[in-house]
Structure 1
Amino acid sequence: MTKKLIILGAGESGIGAALLGKQQGYDVFVSDGGTIKDIYKQELAVNHIPFEEGQHSWDVILGADEIVKSPGIPEKTELMKKIRAKGVPVISEIELAYRFSKDAKIIAITGSNGKSTTTALTFHIFETAGLNAAMVGNIGLSYARVVATAPADYYIVEVSSFQLDDIVEFKPNVAILLNITPDHLDRYDYKMENYVESKFRITMNQGPEDFFVYCKDDQEIDNYLKKQTIYSTSIPFTIMEPLKQGGFMVNDQVNIQVNDEPVIVSMYDLALKGKHNLYNSMAAGIAGRTMEIRKEKIRESLTSFKSLEHRMEYVSTVRGVDFINDSKATNVNSLWFALESMETPVVLIMGGVDKGNDYSAIRELVKEKVKAIICLGIDNAPIQEALSKDTPVMVDTRSMKEAVDAAFQHAEKGDVVLLSPACASFDLFKNYEDRGKQFKDAVREL
């Protein structure tokens, strides 16, 4: 009997799951309550995969043998409640992809902040070492798509808590947990402990032959590890103290001590600047060493890496003012990291869809570094209420061009205009990439 596989949601992960399901002989049907992008519709048609959009055929969905759910679909929807009541097994796309890539080595990276940067840096290390590696997950192509179309020996997978919520057997050889700060709490009944549990699911199937790489300086991670047992081999990283094994700092040098071959790089030689990137660089370097990549290759990679588009990306200097695109900063913590790494006065463009943000964490940095906040969003009231006392200038704008023009007016030679929104982009833009691209276009028009 052919297994009936229903894919809910036809974004990149849903399409990847559909292609892999079809390739592996499942009877696949894709259902999306919204509209499906034309490019994805064409792919489904070419591969003879039936689909529906703008609706969900409940009887078809509830008749599935298994459902792959898009990470974006919350459990509290009526459809998910019905699926759970019927007891149809639900998995995430990374679970499906794992099922058909168990022979490969898997390095999975999660955390509230820094996932994309660390994933890209880890991939850069594996690529520099000449290994057949693929960078997948929340960054670029979906894991399932790559397993179906261009299998690799190593998968460097960026995973979110939403994806981890629906894993069953997914077991990375190396699990990296960078940090845990409040984010997406609306999906976890506003309980931090639920969100923490969700992040730690990355380790749930690991054994002693696997590695768990984590930030020892993160309070939430530290608290959890005091109460729970992790069965994999733990490798911590920290900037607070020297360690026998793991990542640590001594005299401004990053030390990665794994497998008796220390990798030592001056922090000033690292390609990525800022305190948070010391952590990201250590995590990526440790991942490389667990897979026996030579220390010379790791050192070379950590010093030659080019950062990601829309993540602290230098755009241009106009009349002595630097413009930085950090559109990928969709939560307060990402903005905190961006401000923390700034050395010169900042004109900050921020705002968008507020996920119940608590701005108190950035107030000190705003007082110290930000000379003006340009609010960019349909509802800027939460930012104005939270931060108007901490900066001398607060301007309301409704389009990227207006925001960039206002920022430029308030900036002087030697200042930085930083787009680091701390919010989702869906009020005025398609996504954070669209927001970043519009920022770059507006800067080029100055």
Structure 2
Amino acid sequence: MAKKRIVILGGGESGVGTAILAKKEGYKVFVSDKGKIKDKYKEVLEHIEVEWEEQQHTEAEILKAEVVMKSPGIPETVPIVRKLVAKGIPVISEIEFASAFTSAKIIGVTGSNGKTTTTKFIYHILKSANINAGMAGNVGDSFAKQVAETKVDWYVLELSSFQLDGIVDFRPDIAVLTSITPDHLDRYENSFDKYRASKFRIIMNQTASDHFIYDADDENITDWIKENTVQPRQLPYSLQEKQKDGAYLKEENIVVKINNTEFNMPTSDLTLQGKHNTKNAMAAATVAQLLRIRKETIRESMENFQGVEHRLEKVLKINNVQYINDSKATNVNATYYALESMENETVWIVGGVDKGNVYDDLLPLVNEKVKAIICLGVDNQKILNSFGNCVDAIVETQSMGEAVKMAYRLAEKGDAVLLSPACASFDLFENYEDRGRQFKEAVRNL
């Protein structure tokens, strides 16, 4: 039988992971990247003897594919993808490709905010319970690479809407949806409905024997559920209302109820404070209850879970001013949670590439908690217009070092300095991680 030919667009983590798995499964593989491929990835491709090209897409080669795996960062609208679709060649995501080659059970986590913390939270509990599990998707090694190289019983996958856009048969046993707020609308023709539908693809192949865990306080989620058929069993969680099945708060205790079994834990015992973290904990505890993990193990893991780098991460206290790195806040809603959790007067560093942000929701919090704003973006006009009248000082800066020095000047004893950009990172930084690291470096250099 002739080998099936797969073309992989994008030579990053997901692309190279897919190449490893495809090669192992006997595919003929060609990797094509419009940009440069990092040396560490080239070495892997050379080692597994896969053909690759960079800084170009050779159309003749690509259109010979029987199936194409597209990196999540490449929009559907680029010419080569349009040509593939017009030719009827399936264009799928790494998640779709890899899931066909594993018999492990899958927990898929998506949402505009909270998905990384919730994914790591669930993985942490599974590991504490000695369950043989892998974590992949947007975190850790690529899913395809792990499927090729390891054998586990469970995968916890953090899934972006872009990854879900490329699924056909992918079906998680447990789906978690943490939140839906306008984000990445530039990729969805500025349509919130299209973006929301893309998040809900996580449950499209689920059946009545699967489970769907979601935030019942989020109207963008509950409105969709009212209007659409949902096959899996629903386990909502809420800070506001008691749930028959699912998780809720009762006198500052998290309660998780499934099949008449109940798990309780005081929110004061969670390492991660703030309402949004209580919700992330509820989602993780619900998964743990479903897997019948011992209550003692769930409790212990929830008490010692440290959270995620670049998400409300306390860096240093200097002259009694706390510096906090929330570089992972790449949209307004994430920054809303950050500002909501601030207990001191705050100097706020904000800005980057605006993905169509509307800042209105932040106004009450800025009025209440923010004393000064430091802009760190290419075009700060929207930020200046939105908050110019609410704070004593608003300044524009050109680098992270400059922004941190300015914050140091503006902050007084007892204040906090918060990097929570509400935007994607731009040319000054490779990505939000790099932005967060530069912030921490600049703080340490004060």
**Cα distance, 1:141 vs structure 2:** 1.4
Please name the residue that 1:47 is paired with. 48
Residue pairs, 1:60-209, within 5 angstroms: 60-101=61-102, 103-209=103-209
| 2:286 corresponds to 1:290 | no
Q: Distance in 1 between matches of 2:190 and 2:320?
A: 44
8 Å contact 1:259–1:289 — kept in the other structure?
Answer: no
Please name the residue that 1:251 is paired with. 251
Q: Distance in 1 between matches of 2:99 and 2:398?
A: 43
Q: Distance in 2 between matches of 1:423 and 1:442?
A: 20
Residue pairs, 1:317-336, within 5 angstroms: 317-336=317-336
**Cα distance, 1:196 vs structure 2:** 1.1
Please name the residue that 1:20 is paired with. 21
Please name the residue that 1:396 is paired with. 396
Please name the residue that 1:11 is paired with. 12
Stretch deviating more after TM superposition (315-324 or 73-82): 73-82
Q: Distance in 2 between matches of 1:436 and 1:283?
A: 26
Q: Distance in 2 between matches of 1:388 and 1:327?
A: 22
**Cα distance, 1:299 vs structure 2:** 1.2
Please name the residue that 1:32 is paired with. 33
Q: Distance in 2 between matches of 1:170 and 1:88?
A: 18
**Cα distance, 1:14 vs structure 2:** 0.9
**Cα distance, 1:65 vs structure 2:** 0.4
Please name the residue that 1:314 is paired with. 314
Please name the residue that 1:379 is paired with. 379
Please name the residue that 2:359 is paired with. 359
Q: Distance in 2 between matches of 1:4 and 1:202?
A: 27
Please name the residue that 1:239 is paired with. 239
8 Å contact 1:262–1:295 — kept in the other structure?
Answer: no
TM-score where L is the length of structure 1? 0.98
Aligned CA RMSD, in angstroms, stands at 0.9
| 2:425 corresponds to 1:425 | yes
Give a deviation string over 1:220-248, Cα, whole Å, max 9, x none. 11111111111111101001111221010
Q: Distance in 1 between matches of 2:262 and 2:412?
A: 45
Opposite residue 50 of structure 1, the aligned amino acid is E
| 2:415 corresponds to 1:415 | yes
**Cα distance, 1:356 vs structure 2:** 1.2
Give a deviation string over 1:49-86, Cα, whole Å, max 9, x none. 11100000111111100000111111111111111111
Q: Distance in 1 between matches of 2:311 and 2:179?
A: 17
**Cα distance, 1:259 vs structure 2:** 3.5
8 Å contact 1:245–1:258 — kept in the other structure?
Answer: yes
Opposite residue 407 of structure 2, the aligned amino acid is A
8 Å contact 1:35–1:53 — kept in the other structure?
Answer: yes
Q: Distance in 1 between matches of 2:105 and 2:263?
A: 22
Stretch deviating more after TM superposition (262-271 or 169-178): 262-271
Q: Distance in 1 between matches of 2:393 and 2:150?
A: 51
**Cα distance, 1:89 vs structure 2:** 0.7
**Cα distance, 1:313 vs structure 2:** 0.8
Q: Distance in 2 between matches of 1:141 and 1:340?
A: 33
Give a deviation string over 1:176-221, Cα, whole Å, max 9, x none. 0111100011111111111111111000111111100011111111
Opposite residue 261 of structure 1, the aligned amino acid is T
Please name the residue that 2:272 is paired with. 272
Give a deviation string over 1:406-437, Cα, whole Å, max 9, x none. 01111111111111111111221011111111
Spell out structure 1 runs of 4+ moving beyond 4 A: none
Q: Distance in 2 between matches of 1:204 and 1:220?
A: 17
> Match of 1:336, SS?
helix
Q: Distance in 1 between matches of 2:313 and 2:289?
A: 28
Count matched residues.
445
The percent identity for this pair of structures is: 52
**Cα distance, 1:286 vs structure 2:** 0.5
Opposite residue 174 of structure 2, the aligned amino acid is V
Opposite residue 284 of structure 1, the aligned amino acid is A
8 Å contact 1:378–1:428 — kept in the other structure?
Answer: no
Q: Distance in 1 between matches of 2:365 and 2:151?
A: 45
Opposite residue 79 of structure 2, the aligned amino acid is E
Please name the residue that 1:346 is paired with. 346
**Cα distance, 1:140 vs structure 2:** 2.0
Q: Distance in 2 between matches of 1:186 and 1:441?
A: 32
Q: Distance in 2 between matches of 1:221 and 1:310?
A: 26
Q: Distance in 1 between matches of 2:315 and 2:281?
A: 23
Q: Distance in 2 between matches of 1:379 and 1:227?
A: 39
Q: Distance in 1 between matches of 2:426 and 2:94?
A: 24
> Match of 1:436, SS?
helix
Stretch deviating more after TM superposition (283-292 or 258-267): 258-267
Give a deviation string over 1:130-182, Cα, whole Å, max 9, x none. 11111111112111111112232110000011100110111001000111100
